[in-house]
Chains A and B, each alone.
Chain A
Amino acid sequence: MPKPILFVTRRLPASIEALAVQDYDARLTPSDVAIDDLIARAEGADAILCCPGDVLDAKAIAALPASVKVIGTFSVGYDHVDVAAAKARGIKVCNTPDVLSVATAECAMLLIMGAARRAGEGERLVRSGKWQGWAPTQLLGTQVSDRRLGIFGMGRIGREIARMARGFNMEIHYRDMARLPVELEHGAIFHDNDDSFLPLCQVLSLNAPGSEGTRHWLNADRIAKLPPGAVVVNAARGTLVDDDALIAALRSGQIAAAGLDVYNNEPHLNPDYLTLENVMLLPHLGSATTETRDAMGRIVLSGIGAILAGQTPTNLVA
């Protein structure tokens, strides 16, 4: 029996491309940007492995060849795929849930520590070759251990951050729509309103999903309620932050430092961030470890394989 045909829309880690070639008649794409002839290249394929940035809206799905039975996306989020349109055509969709939580939480912790301890400024000083030696207030940062950490959005990633932060003796507070079962809280303190939550947040980590309800959640009003000199980190979605308000607070010192992995309008972030010394900036690489990208590739390929074999995988979206 011939292997099923899998169309891969983007360059993937070598280990995952090797796995695809082993199990499928794989059509690989040596590109890091979304291709513009996706529909044509899907001709005859049984399955498509796509990435965020590939637009599979209702129109594109309607135009897909009849051979396509599965769309797998190399991501947790699937807002680039019109799931209802796929379902209407009998195309199943799967993604890569769960496997990014640890890597993203590590990224948030790195941003917390790096922003609080002024890692970027120290690096630039040392690399410039102009380090003159110790001075009394040189690069004095904010201590992280024994401080209070506020987590906005206590899902899987938020809970991983809480677990890591406990190693630093941080007191964990969280704000979410509903309180967690006590066995998932591990002593973290729930807040059902911003007014009790924000004034406690010496360090604030944003971990809520991006949606209309959370759009620009961190705005000037909420920033004013943080303790002066707070550290703010966002490794979730850029839309959670009102950039103008955050930049103003970073300039005034109301917020001592920020660490950001995500932005409004990526990759065209607000250029004012680049003028600030007290921000640590990462190019949306929260999940970028070899181990995590490998796990993402394996889970999406295994989901595609299961669907083609007539089974229902755990990572089926619809």
Chain B
Amino acid sequence: MKPRLVLACLTTTDVVARARAAFDAVVAEGPGDMTVAEVTQAATDHQAEAILFTNTLPLSAAAIAGLPASVRVGATCSVGYDHIDVPAARACGIVVTNTPGVLDECTADHAMMLLLTAARRGMAYDRIMRQGWRYRIGQGDLLGVRVTGKRVGILGMGRIGRAFAQRARGFDMKVLYHARTRLPPELEQGAEYFADFHAMLPHCDFLSVHAPGGPATDKMIDARAFSLMPDGAVLVNVARGSLVDEDALLDALTSGKLFAAGLDVFRDEPDYDLRFAALDNVVLSPHVGSASKETRDAMGFRALDNIAAVLAGRPAIDPLWRD
């Protein structure tokens, strides 16, 4: 008999096919991902042993307490897990896993795309074209900012931060970083470590965010942080919207303190602050840092592999904690 699974989020056809082949699966049919109530109902009716979900499912202590006792493993199809109350899950004895490692390159690519497009005004130019481009642009008008040879500060130097640093080096950028602990030299690859985030900011022509969300980093990039950056700096965020004080960011973008920003994540998704949509100097994308077919498949397969391991009595591949 196949193990019983609730596939609570919409995913690629290949991931759904593999879930159905390997599991007795109840699959979300849309139009959206399952809510907590729907997951609880489906897991109870199905006596599910596993739940595969993503960051659209807020697994609070109450939500976890409401799950049936049959559930032994929950796999989030994401690297971030700020939507999960980890101590509550741990207390319940449920194993929770994520999908690190498989989306680093894709997400780092997206961050560099946003950095280039924000610095070189790519989207503002594309709008000019789509409106017909019927005027001459002066030699001194609508100029962007050069990327090559500049300094980029990276907040959070995990796998994605390091993959981003590798791309920045292709543009001869000087890489600075802040993280809770300094990396060993073989992972630093010459990047300069700042133990104090605020001490790094005056040196950041560009700042790219790759730190986890959650209370510890909430609004870490605030009005004070922007005031410490050089005039005309560029912010890129493909990590979590919660790291940024969006009022302060809007101020910095309209005052000219920041030249531009590239944002893939927002405090409220998808109902993000529409004041950003009125600005010409932001590049916006709908949380698609990992949105390549290859990567989305790899994330789903990895989550299924984690579930299969736990239900077969083996250790999880990517547990959020180790006992």
Contacts and interface: CB of A to CB of B under 8 A. Distances in A.
Given A11-B139, A134-B54, A267 B170 contact: no
B128 A110 contact: no
Contacts of A188: none
A155 interface: no
Contacts of B117: 110, 113-114, 119
B4 interface: no
Contacts of B169: 167
Given A103-B146, A117-B109, A280-B126, A137 B12 contact: yes
Interface string A1-20: 00000000011111010000
The 8 closest A-B pairs by CB, nearest first: A167-B170, A13-B140, A113-B113, A281-B129, A110-B116, A122-B285, A143-B292, A126-B284
A267 B133 contact: yes
A278 B106 CA distance: 19
A292 B284 CA distance: 26
Identify which of B11, B108, B170 gathers the most chain A CB atoms within 10 Å of its CB. B170
A143 B272 contact: no
A40 interface: no
B274 interface: yes
Contact of A106 (B9, B147, B272, B287): B147
Contact of B108 (A11, A142, A145): A145
A282 B110 contact: no
A290 B12 contact: no
Contacts of A142: 292
Contacts of B125: 281-283, 285
Given A127-B284, A283-B133, A289-B120, A102 B146 contact: yes
A277 to B, nearest CB: 11
Contacts of B274: 129
Contacts of B171: 106, 164, 167
B122 interface: yes
A283 B137 contact: yes
A267 B12 CA distance: 41
A244 interface: no
A143 B146 contact: no
Nearest to B296: A140
B22 interface: no
28 contacts: A10-B138, A32-B138, A33-B136, A102-B148, A117-B110, A117-B113, A117-B292, A119-B283, A120-B126, A123-B283, A127-B277, A135-B10, A137-B12, A138-B288, A138-B291, A141-B291, A141-B292, A143-B109, A145-B108, A167-B168, A167-B171, A274-B130, A282-B126, A283-B128, A283-B137, A285-B125, A285-B144, A289-B120
A133 interface: yes
Interface string A255-292: 00000000000010100011000001111010011111
Interface string B244-259: 0000000000000000
Nearest to B264: A122
A298 interface: no
Contact of B143 (A13, A109, A166): A13
A10 B105 CA distance: 45
A141 B288 contact: yes
B286 interface: yes
A168 B122 CA distance: 20
Interface string B207-240: 0000000000000000000000000000000000
Interface residues of B, number: 69
B269 interface: yes
Contacts of B126: 120, 123, 280-282
A151 interface: no
Given A143-B105, A283-B129, A289-B143, A136 B11 contact: yes
B141 A168 contact: no
A12 B137 CA distance: 11
A290 B120 contact: no
Interface string B45-63: 0000000001010000000
Nearest to B105: A145
A281 B168 contact: no
A107 interface: yes
B322 interface: no
A122 B272 CA distance: 14
Contacts of A132: 32, 270
B293 interface: yes
B203 to A, nearest CB: 18
Nearest to A271: B132
B317 interface: no
A265 B251 CA distance: 41
Contacts of A103: 146
A133 B56 contact: yes
Nearest to A144: B109
A71 to B, nearest CB: 17
A177 interface: no
Contact of B106 (A14, A118, A134, A143): A143
Given A145-B105, A167-B170, 8 more contacts: A51-B139, A106-B148, A117-B285, A123-B126, A126-B286, A141-B288, A163-B170, A290-B145
B191 to A, nearest CB: 14
A189 interface: no
A118 B142 CA distance: 23
A283 B288 CA distance: 26
B140 A146 contact: no
A165 interface: yes
B112 interface: yes
A12 B143 CA distance: 12
Given A13-B143, A131-B286, A139-B286, A106 B116 contact: yes
B129 A129 contact: no
B318 interface: no
Given A135-B10, A167-B166, A143 B295 contact: yes
